[in-house]
Amino acid sequence: MLKGRITGGKFFLLSLPCILLGVALKRDFVGSPWDGILALLFLFSFPVMLIAAVRRSHDVGRSGWLALICLIPFAGWYLVFKPGDPGANKYGPSPKGEAGVGRPPSNQP
């Protein structure tokens, strides 16, 4: 689950629910029946975001500990826009395919 690599776009899509729920929780929903539901959804989406951040850290050639940068507001954008390592690195093959471009090679001649 914590092994492998993902692209910046996939990381953004996996992090978006957590970001939106965090923003919604900061709004004035205190005492609202939605408050508990939003908090519960946030608690379920937060680990997904951290796992995605670890895999994205691997894509840029860094340790999974770099995922903690997502806890700093707006610093997580680094993982969205930083280009991944072309080709394979010590964390696995490129999520973009061979040599970091195009789709993964097919087995057809």
Q: Each residue's pLDDT tens digit in the chain (109 positions)?
A: 778 899 989 999 999 998 888 888 887 666 677 788 888 998 999 999 999 999 999 999 898 898 898 888 888 888 889 888 888 888 888 888 765 454 555 555 5
- The 10 Å Cβ neighbour count of residue 28 is 7
Q: Residue 7 in contact with residue 59, Cβ under 8 Å?
A: yes
> Rounded CA gap, 64 and 102, in Å?
25
pLDDT at 39: 86
Per-domain residue ranges of the chain: 9-82
Amino acid code (one letter) for 8: G
Predicted TM-score of the model (pTM): 0.79
